[in-house]
Amino acid sequence: MPDKVIRIAIAQINTCVGNIPANTDLIISKIQEALDKYKANIIVFPELTISSYPPEDLLLRPAFHKQISQAFELIQNKVIGIDCIIGYPEKTGNQLFNSCSLLRDRKLIATYRKQILPNYAVFDEKRYFNPGKEACVFDFMGIPTALSICEDIWEPGPCAQAKSAGAKLMININASPYHVDKISLREKLLRERVAESGLNIIYVNLVGGQDELIFDGGSLAIDHRGNVRFHAPQFQEGLYVIEFSSGDNGCFSLPMDIPVQSLSKEESIYQALVLGVKDYVYKNGFKGAIIGLSGGVDSALTLCIAVDALGRENVDVLIMPSRYTADMSIEDAKTITETLGVQSHIISIEKLFETFNESLKPLFSDMPKDITEENIQARCRGILLMAVSNKLGKLVLTTGNKSEMAVGYATLYGDMAGGFAPLKDITKTSVYKLAGWRNQISPVILQRIIDRPPSAELRENQFDQDTLPAYDILDPILERYIEFDQSPEEITKAGYDEKIVQKVVTMVDRNEYKRRQSAPGIRITQRAFGRDRRYPITSGYRE
């Protein structure tokens, strides 16, 4: 008997949470494309495709589920001549499941309900969903095929259950968010499942930005020997076709040419940042972005990301010098905008600063100047940026990095003013690495910007290191304390000065109130501020 070969279309698509009509149109168009263009036997979509991921408390709204039900019915009626695996929130009585269903010739053939509900880091599925309990194995052109959803593949139970039910092929649909080195972690886990079960696995992942989260795609197929036979690009939408043969224990082949992608660490982070900015701006209905350009490396890198994400014509720059701004800073800011072809405007904050000082003089006359006057300058800039944002319908991108946000080296309602923070999870040392990588594409960020000691330029001869440890010391301490949850004692034993460690830890702890009011930003690490790291503002705890 000849081997049976099935053609599988992997729909690595970018959907928008809650935009059920647009998601439905996209799903239907991909079903038709897979059938007409690629002659596929089945098309597989990511986790919770109809609603997109994560829908969060939209799942608590009855009207939301009514729309989901209507969309599911519409999709089901469009499935003719091709099978379809679609993910969606399934409301059944008083229970809600994270489900996927097999549709065939306008009929619902089988449904699988996610069994392992993640409830850590950015995941909160136990808040909403009930766990499924049973395997779902169906006959697909003579090949026993199982379904599973995302976290089900991270533990051995569901694969073993499917194998016991006779499965030969496992299709696992995902909304797996990006963090650094996530691709290698996924491949390691899939090889473990293969070693335990002997299954061939197809892993289909969502792509796109959703608030802080980036879904990087990178869908793949791994055979029963643990060999990766297919890998879709990261950060790109696409409809990818692979074939699976029933011979022996099964094998994969590629009928279409799919370029092999190999991204460096900096390149993958940069692409994640670009995708995150693009989707946040456009999915939220803004016309583009506004950036306050200081002449420093953080704002320069943010500008590059914005231009690469949105196009130069959709980005506006304000250069807002004060009495403390070095001529070099203005010159470098102007040079970057000219190199990138971005429209820029120079607006001095000097008159605004003087007006605020004059208005406050009766209150402050007997008091020495301090950080108050520094923060007033930052807040003058925030007012200008938000005014231009309101007038042009463009989103202000803040330019602060994770190192600054960790220790509170930022001004509330000043340089923190804005709608989205691309570098919020990027340390200062990583900013320099990303700037160097971006300059390899085209030399945009002047070397003297990278080489200059960083400064907020809010007083004479001010440098970051007047207040903070050097970033090559600060960032490793922050990583140990924030990402690895090490105690000050453990960090000190690793070779760091005890007084510096205590100073840094104290600054991190006391600035939670600032971070809680900061703009959302793109998650790159496994302990980003916000969704990952949740600490009380009011707390008497000290280490």
Find the catalytic residue in 16, 30, 47, 251: 47
E strand map for 376-473: 395-396
What pLDDT is stored for residue 175 in this prediction? 97
Q: Count of alpha carbons within 13 Å of 121, Cβ hemisphere only?
A: 15
The answer to whether 151 and 53 have CB atoms below 8 angstroms apart is no
- The residues that bridge with 326 in the sheet, in sequence order, are none
What pLDDT is stored for residue 2 in this prediction? 60
What pLDDT is stored for residue 513 in this prediction? 94
Find the catalytic residue in 30, 90, 100, 114: 114
Does the pTM of the predicted model rise above 0.75?
A: yes
Distance CA 104, CA 82 (A): 7
Query: Does an H or E element contain 10, and which?
Result: strand 5-12
pLDDT less than 70: residues of the chain: 1-2, 457
Distance CA 251, CA 221 (A): 10
Task: Write the single-letter amino acid at 89.
Answer: P
**How does DSSP assign 156-167, residue by residue?**
HHHHHHHHHTT-
What pLDDT is stored for residue 412 in this prediction? 93
What pLDDT is stored for residue 193 in this prediction? 94
Residues 212-242 pLDDT 10s:
999 999 999 999 999 999 999 999 999 999 9
Does the annotation count 380 as an active-site position?
no
**Looking at residue 82, what DSSP letter applies?**
S
What pLDDT is stored for residue 399 in this prediction? 95
CA distances in angstroms from 111 to 31, 57, 99, listed in the order given? 19, 24, 7
Does the annotation count 114 as an active-site position?
yes
Cα distance between the two ends of the chain: 69
Residues 114-151 pLDDT 10s:
999 999 888 999 999 999 999 999 999 989 999 999 99
Structure tokens at 150: 């995302």
What pLDDT is stored for residue 1 in this prediction? 47
What pLDDT is stored for residue 250 in this prediction? 75
Residues 240-287 pLDDT 10s:
999 998 777 778 888 878 877 889 999 999 999 999 999 999 999 999
Distance CA 153, CA 369 (A): 59
- The residues that bridge with 240 in the sheet, in sequence order, are 10
Query: Does an H or E element contain 147, and which?
Result: strand 143-149
Q: Which residue do the tokens 């820029």 mark?
A: 344
Find the catalytic residue in 16, 150, 159, 380: 150
Rg, the chain, Cα only? 26
Nearest to 274 by CA among 325, 324, 330, 234: 234
